[in-house]
Structure 1
Amino acid sequence: MTRLRALCLLGALLCGGTGEAVAGCRQALALGLDVSGSVDLREYRLQIDGLITALNAPEVTRMLLSTPSAPVALLVYEWSGPADQAVLVPWTRIDGPERLAEISMALAETERRDATPGTALGIAMETGARYLDEQKGCWTRTLDISGDGRSNLGPRPRDVRDAIGARGITINALVIGADAPAIGDQRHVEIGELSSYFRTEVITGPDAFVQTALGFEDYAAAMTAKLKRELDGLAISELQ
């Protein structure tokens, strides 16, 4: 999100924006977490705990809480095979620190479900877009997809991406890989190749980008950087 776009949004509010827009949220963020068969229990926990750490990073918290009158709406869901999507945190408008604490607690109490080993990335994208369609009053809508591999079940990401983008939804990606994968470990696709795949097949929308994590141990730092980049320019002070 560029500051120019943020200023345009602010200008719309100051010059005849509707009451619904003012009363709405400045950004809807749907975070899709990969829990496919390539993600073991330890990696699952690193991903969940990493998201908690990122949401509570001082700079991210400051951005999230900067404008209570037009808060960020957050939803967290996990995805795997075609029938393995589940909401961990329903749509929550972060209008104060207590909401952020509630989200963190809900994530901390989350336990791993049984999931099929497939990676239905296209369906995960469609699922996230359907959730974002529930937040059409927000100034911007962003779908975040975390993943450690290519899609191998369901529609191809490239076949659903453009239709999602046409609905005004931006898709960003957090790609999880490794610098030196273990021999025979099919989970760890070389990070550059996997990033290129997500850049070509998955992301869409103005300023869409791919963030990388060099293994699940790096997930917290990567998610923190990603949220800061997405929220930058949307932290607007109270209107005078």
Structure 2
Amino acid sequence: MNRRNFLGAALAAPVVFRTTAARATVPVDVELVLAVDVSRSVDPEEQEMQFSGYEAAFRDPRLIEGIMGGPLGAIACTMFTWSDWHIQNLVVPWTQLDGPASANRFADAIAAAPRRTWLYTSISGAMDYAAKQFGQGFEGIRKVIDISGDGVNNSGRPVAEARAEALAQGIVLNGLAVLDRTPTPLSLAAALPPLDTYYREEVIGGPGAFLVVAEGFEAFETAVRRKIIREIAAAPAPGALVERFA
């Protein structure tokens, strides 16, 4: 076919329009990603304390009131567990929370989530995975990653690199450091920075970022409830950089 015939055929061909609409995003006050440590240092009893702590938080009337009190009256939340640099498991998908019914369904999903334990502690891997979860059907005024854990990064790339990339995307990184009371060998303890100092200096970041410290897993439920209420506040009041719960 010569060039003239080719152009004629092309012009005569019917025009095909895409009729499938782009997926709409739902506006919410906050997109909140909950990242929960399930590395080897978190024993089954401690892991259960974490899950039950998150579950109880989303059933708390004060937290539900905070969700409904925002400009849009809704947040979007998802939860995953993490350990080694390549191990992140989604346990509750993105869910819109806008009142008692949806908050309690989210709590039910946490209660039903599988409990698994892996080996290492890759905070950088958790940050990388969490940062990729945003923009999946929701558009938040704020984007927040909530990282809870009881150890420093010992798997994957440096935390500083993952942290810098997340901050460059406008994501706020908050931390919940659990000071595990399980004895640590003296040689290892001497080589590691205090966990609360590590989280404050190496993990959290972004406008209004803060750290909550739980003095043992027994304090986790109180700490996580306070942390999420503060994270979803419509106009977060200036608060302490570090809050502690015993």
Length-normalised TM-score, structure 1: 0.80
Shift of 1:234: 4.5
C-alpha root-mean-square deviation of aligned residues, in Å?
Answer: 2.7
Q: Relative to structure 1, is the Cα distance of residues 183 and 120 closer, same or farther in structure 2, using a 3 angstrom cutoff?
A: closer
C-alpha contact 1:148 1:176 (8 A) present in aligned 2: yes
Q: Which residue of 1 aligns with 2:162?
A: 160
C-alpha contact 1:28 1:135 (8 A) present in aligned 2: no
Residue 193 (structure 1) aligned with residue 182 (structure 2):
no
Aligned residue-pair number? 213
Q: 2:39 aligns with which of 36, 40, 49?
A: 36
Other structure's SS at 1:140 match: strand
**Where do 1:10-89 residues align within 5 Å?**
24-67=27-70, 69-89=72-92
**Where do 1:1-240 residues align within 5 Å?**
24-67=27-70, 69-115=72-118, 117-134=119-136, 137-178=139-180, 182=183, 184=185, 193-234=194-235
Higher alpha-carbon deviation: 168-177 or 127-136: 127-136
C-alpha contact 2:31 2:139 (8 A) present in aligned 1: no
Other structure's SS at 2:94 match: strand
Length-normalised TM-score, structure 2: 0.78
Q: Which has the larger radius of gyration?
A: 2
One-letter code aligned to 2:209: A
Q: Specify every segment of 5 or more residues in structure 1 that has no aligned partner in the other structure, as ranges.
A: 1-19, 236-240
Partner deviation per Cα, 1:86-133 (whole Å, 9 max, x = no partner):
111100010232211211111111231242x11111010111111124
C-alpha contact 2:40 2:117 (8 A) present in aligned 1: no
1: CA distance, partners of 2:84 / 2:198: 19
Shift of 1:57: 2.0
2: CA distance, partners of 1:103 / 1:200: 32
2: CA distance, partners of 1:35 / 1:55: 20
Partner deviation per Cα, 1:127-171 (whole Å, 9 max, x = no partner):
111112436721100000001000001011111111110101000
2: CA distance, partners of 1:32 / 1:71: 20
One-letter code aligned to 1:200: E
Other structure's SS at 1:25 match: strand
Q: Relative to structure 1, is the Cα distance of residues 169 and 154 closer, same or farther in structure 2, using a 3 angstrom cutoff?
A: same
One-letter code aligned to 1:118: Y
Other structure's SS at 1:138 match: strand
2: CA distance, partners of 1:136 / 1:102: 18
Q: Relative to structure 1, is the Cα distance of residues 188 and 143 closer, same or farther in structure 2, using a 3 angstrom cutoff?
A: farther
Percent sequence identity is 31
Q: Relative to structure 1, is the Cα distance of residues 84 and 183 closer, same or farther in structure 2, using a 3 angstrom cutoff?
A: closer
